[in-house]
Amino acid sequence: MRPNSSWINPRWVGLILSLSFSAAAIFADSVLPVYDALCAAPKLQMSLTGGADSVGVLEGTEDLNGGEWRPLLQLGAISGHHEWMDPENRAQARRFYRLNRSPRPPMLPLPNFRLNDHQGFSHELFREGDARAVVLVFTDAQSLESHWKQLKPLVETQTAAGVQFWMVDPMDDRSVMAAAATKAGVTIPVLQDSAQLVARSYGASASGEAVVLEAESLTTVYRGAIEDAVEVAVGAPVRQAYLADALTQFTAGARPAVEYARPQGQPWRSVDSGVASYRNEIAPLLQAKCVTCHRPGEIGSWAITNHATVRAKSATIRANVLEGLMPPWHADPAHGKFENDFSLTPQQQARLVAWLDAGAPREAGVDPLETVPPATGLWPMGKPDVTLKIAAQKIQALGQMPYAYVMVTNTLKTNAWLRAAAIRPGNRAVVHHALIFYIKPGSVFQMLLDFQAIQGGLNGYYAAYVPGMDQREYPAKTAKFLPAGGTFVFQMHYTPNGTATTDATEMGLYLSSTPPSMELKTGAASSTAIDIPAGARNHRMVAERSFDKAVDVHELSPHMHFRGDSMRFEAFLPDGSSQVLLNVPKYDFNWQALYRLAQPVRLPAGSRIKISGGFDNSRWNTFNPDAKSRVRFGEQTDDEMFIGYINYSEVP
């Protein structure tokens, strides 16, 4: 069918309209060029019929002689007709169109992901199960304000209908992104996709592209432009509100008539460039970041021993990186630098995922991963100067066990300085954690008072083992003081695993040959006033610790239980200024790292450290023992704690 050239300005558009029919059925489809007299502009009128198992795809090209046909619009099966104006008409000398009818692509669920927003809070797609739909709008700092103006009316009208809105920025660093969001007055999360993994996984190629997900199935309802405005010869630009129409139809229980509209934004600048070399890039990366735990005999759930083992786990590795699970490092990179940071940079994440998506190719020759590093032995820091072991403890097969408090005498006869104290569980399968306290020698009454002052670790500890804590020497120029003649108290938390067994945990002491510049101490900010309502999604708490003397802060560690979701450490100085020392947007009870600052932070006398955090007691927290219960403070993992540990030294 050819248009009547008498009513179309040839500068605007050339039309070739053709129909492709499925071999399985004949559709009464038609496409007609029509003229809108009010706007003095051409538009297309498309009539489609048929079942929900097919779609109509409108394509366009500027060159019939080998030019690329690009999809412009995708329509579902609708009754009547659909009219559309091409927003790129006036920018083209001519454009040709064709309409293809094809089977509907399979509705595959899109992957889960977790990202931090412009305020440092974590958001995970799988935890949005109470929403009917999740809308992702991909943006950048330069375009964010205009996109928000388009999106804001939808947020105001559709949120009450169960629609969750997120903006996603794959281009900008946190400070630039946050400044743009603040300037624009954005009231929804703006997620930082610094490795562009979400944009890659969701096929978002340009700024201004929206993706609407049905929350229960995580399948796509609509993708494409938020809206466009078509310049016409007479009157104001014609607005085509694709996203608004799609949401209105979806919340009314119908599939959108327009399922795709080509976005007009600028394409992303990719952080990935080609497929990485396995031998020169991927294998060394895995050796540096993963093999420490993922090797025979270590705590990783599977061992990396060659290329084949990695390729077999490609889907798992990809999912873990996208969800921020592996490597298990949970500090927000926007706040602070840490000596023991073993996370992947955005570039490394992008290169690894691109390599996995390419099929995990490998060059011929020697496989670097077949060279497995030697085991670290019983004591990763070498043989201790002194080893202390608790008496064997009997662990029941099932149920919960109260904390065991086991006394061990300090065998050193003189005062000592320790450069490290390492805890080695006797039975890792049942030891969840061990906190060690020290009671100085004194009268029986005084030692009893000191024991009571332990308060289960609410105020600090002498040494510790928890899942994910790296056993290493104390920070440079520091050591812990150990008075002679006292008693160590081991607080042992056992988790029965179905088999009755025993444990005899040990502690290795590493002596310093010289006194340190500063004594290392462990304190804490904590609160026991925990009362989390059943089903609460983001129950917030705060606690703080003040310092009468000037201190250097060396290390920080959050401690919560299964409902713990996030924790932030912020220093407030006497002059009114403040500094975020550590932000953990997604706390993991199974991996409680001790975050060592790359450089100690000095706080003047009178400073205080405030911890603020959240608990997720909803059914969407996959670790939640019981979303229907009210939760209070307690030692067991189905109770809760709220402690922020601080390793510091007082400035002489």
Domains of the chain (ranges, CATH numbers): 19-103 (no CATH), 114-232 (3.40.30.10), 278-316+324-370 (no CATH), 376-511 (2.60.120), 520-652 (2.60.120.230)
CA distance readout (Å), 395 to 400, 403, 465, 548: 10, 11, 18, 43
* Residue from 360, 457, 470 nearest 420 by CA: 470
Task: Kindly state the average pLDDT of the residues 205-218.
Answer: 93
C-alpha R_g of the chain? 31
Q: Where are the alpha helices (DSSP H) in 222-298?
A: 242-251, 283-289
CA nearest to 72, candidates 81, 85, 82: 85
Range in 82-91, 206-215, 576-585 the model is least confident about: 82-91
pLDDT over 80 at 432, yes or no? yes
Beta-carbon count within 10 A of 63 CB: 11
Produce one character per residue of 109-144: b if its CB has 16 or more CB atoms within 10 Å, e if not: ebbebbbbbbebbbbbbebbeebbbbbbbbbbbebb
Residue 106 per-residue DSSP state: P
113 with 321: CB under 8 angstroms? no
Instruction: Please give the mean pLDDT across all residues of the chain.
Output: 90
Query: DSSP readout, 372-389?
Result: PPPP--S-TT-S-SEEEE
CA gap 528, 543 in Å, rounded: 10
pLDDT confidence band for 262 (50 / 70 / 90) = very high
- Beta-strand pair 431-439/463-465: antiparallel
Residue with the bigger pLDDT between 53 and 607: it is: 607
- pLDDT score at 509: 98
Whole-number pLDDT of residue 103: 83
Q: Quick check: 15 pLDDT over 70?
A: no
Q: What does the pLDDT read at residue 447?
A: 81
Arithmetic mean of pLDDT, 370-396:
90
pLDDT at residue 6, as a whole number: 29
pLDDT single digits (tens) 473-496: 999 999 999 999 999 999 999 999
In the predicted model, is pLDDT for residue 10 greater than 50? Answer: no
In the chain, the percentage of residues whose pLDDT exceeds 90 is: 73
pLDDT of residue 335: 96
Give the pLDDT score at 280.
Answer: 96
Residue with tokens 């409680």: 592
Give the mean pLDDT of 435-457: 88
pLDDT band at 377 (very low <50, low <70, confident <90, very high): confident
CA dihedral sign, ordered 644, 647, 651, 652: positive
- pLDDT tens for 118-156 read 999 999 999 998 999 999 999 999 999 999 999 999 999
CA distance 200 to 255: 25
Q: DSSP E strands: which ranges in 69-189? A: 70-75, 81-84, 96-103, 114-116, 122-124, 133-138, 163-169
Does the CA dihedral 448-453-455-460 come out positive or negative?
Answer: negative
Please tell me whether residue 291 adopts helix, strand or coil conformation: coil
Closest of 59, 79, 54 to residue 71, by C-alpha: 59
Residue 245: its pLDDT value, please?
96
Give the separation between CA 57 and CA 15, rounded to whole angstroms: 16
What span, in angstroms and rounded, lies between the C-alpha atoms of 439 and 410?
Answer: 10
Does the pLDDT at position 3 exceed 50?
A: no
pLDDT of residue 108: 78
E strand or H helix at 645, and its extent? strand 643-650
Position 1 pLDDT exceeds 70: no
What is the pLDDT at residue 4?
Answer: 30
Confidence check: pLDDT of 620 > 60: yes
d(CA 397, CA 218): 40
Position 207 scores a pLDDT of 94
Q: Residue 79: pLDDT above 60?
A: no
Residue type, 247: L
**Six token digits for residue 429:** 């399968």
Bond prior to 327 in cis (omega within 30° of 0): yes
Name beta bridge partners: 535.
none
pLDDT at 373: 75
Give pLDDT, residue 101. 81
DSSP-assigned letter for residue 338: B
Residue 13 pLDDT grade (very low, low, confident, very high; cuts 50, 70, 90): very low
Query: Measured between alpha carbons, how far is 331 from 320 in angstroms, rounded to an integer?
Result: 16
Q: What 3-state class would DSSP assign to 466?
A: coil
Give mean pLDDT, residues 275-292. Answer: 95
Over residues 495-529, the pLDDT tens digits come to: 999 999 999 999 999 999 999 999 999 999 999 99
Confidence of residue 614 (pLDDT cuts 50, 70, 90): very high
Q: pLDDT-derived band of residue 29, with 50, 70 and 90 as boundaries?
A: low
Contacts of 298 by beta carbon, 8 Å cutoff, 6+ apart: 292
pLDDT of residue 50: 64
% of the chain with per-residue pLDDT over 70: 93
Q: What is the DSSP letter of 333?
A: T
Distances (CA, A) of 194 to 77, 198, 582: 38, 9, 19
- DSSP per-residue codes, 491-554: EEEE---SS-EEE--EEEEEE-SS--SEE-EEEEEE----EEPTT-S-EEEEEEEE-SS-EEEE
Q: What is the pLDDT of residue 5?
A: 30
pLDDT band at residue 9, thresholds of 50, 70 and 90? Answer: very low
Phi, psi of 608 (to 5 degrees): -140, 150
Contacts of 304 (CB under 8 A, 6+ apart): 286, 290, 291, 294, 295, 310, 369
Helix (H, G, I), strand (E, B) or coil at 70: strand
Confidence of residue 194 (pLDDT cuts 50, 70, 90): very high
Neighbour tally for 505: CB within 10 Å? 24
Contacts with 385 (C-beta within 8 Å, 6 or more apart), sequence order: 508, 509, 510, 511
Q: Does 42 have pLDDT greater than 50?
A: yes
Lowest mean pLDDT among 77-81, 260-264, 310-314, 533-537: 77-81
Does residue 256 contact residue 146 with C-beta atoms inside 8 Å? no
The one-character DSSP state at 88 is T
Distance (Å, whole) CA 536 – CA 533: 6
Which tokens belong to 117? 């927003």
CB atoms within 10 A of CB 93: 10
pLDDT at 399 over 50: yes
